[in-house]
Amino acid sequence: MDGARHGSEKLAALTALDAGLVGCRHCTRVWHADTEVCPRCGGGLQSRDPTSLQRVWAWWLVGLLFYIPANLYPMLITRTVGLASDATIVGGVIELMHHGAYAVAGIVFFASVMIPVGKFIAIGYLAVMVRRSRGYRPRHMLHLFEIVEFIGRWSMIDVFVVAILVALVQFNLIATINPGIAAVCFALSVVFTMLSALSFDSRRIWDEIEIISDESAS
C-alpha cells in the first residue's frame, strides 16, 4: 500500500521534462523534447525559459513607473457650464463617499488601487521566491500565480468606466467628460503588469513541486 501511494505521488508530479516532451506556450501543443520549432504554430519551443525572470522584472518595473503618474494625475476632466474640474483615482473615491455612493467607491478603490497594488506585490514575490531552491511552499506559489492570472481580466474596469462616461456625457457647453492623462498611464500599467505575469515561467514552480514529491516519496 505504501509503495502504491508513493508511486502515485511521484506519478502526480511527473512533468513534461521527465517524459521527454515539451509544450508550446503559444498553442499548447505537446511535442518531443528534441523539437525546436512548433510545427503547428511556428513558435519556438523551450523546456524552460532561462530569460523569463528578466522579462518579468522588466515589464514589472515599467508597469510600476506608469502606475505612479496614474495616481498623481487626473483620471477624469469634467466641464460643466464652462467650469472645469478634475479628479484623481483616490480623489474620485473620496468624492463618491461624500455623495454617499459607498458601494461604487468601494468597487473603484478595489479595482483601481487594491488589485493593481496586489498584483505588483504578488508578481514581485513570485519572481523573488522562485530563485530560491528552498524556503517556500511551491503549491501555495502555484495557487498565487493562478490568482494573479485570474484577476488580470478585471484590471481594466477603471478604464472601461472612463471610456463609457466619455462616450455618454458629451453635451458641449452644458457638460462634458474627457479622460485625463492618468487614464492612459493606468491602461499602460495594466498592460505591462499583464505582460509581466505572462512572462513568468510557472514550470519552475512545478520543478520544485516535483523535487519535494520525490524527497517525500523516498
Task: Supply 67's cell numbers.
Answer: 502606475
More confident residue, 42 or 10: 42
Q: What is the mean pLDDT of residues 111-130?
A: 87
> Of the spans 6-10, 37-41, 193-197, which averages the highest pLDDT?
193-197
Helices 115-129 and 181-199, axial angle in degrees (round to 10): 30
What is the per-residue pLDDT across 163-190, written as a single tens digit (0 to 9) for each?
A: 665 555 555 556 566 777 888 888 889 8
CA atoms within 13 A on the CB side of 134: 2
Going along the chain, which residue ranges are E strands? 21-23, 30-32, 76-80, 83-87, 175-179
What is the per-residue pLDDT for 95?
76
Q: What is the pTM of this model?
A: 0.70
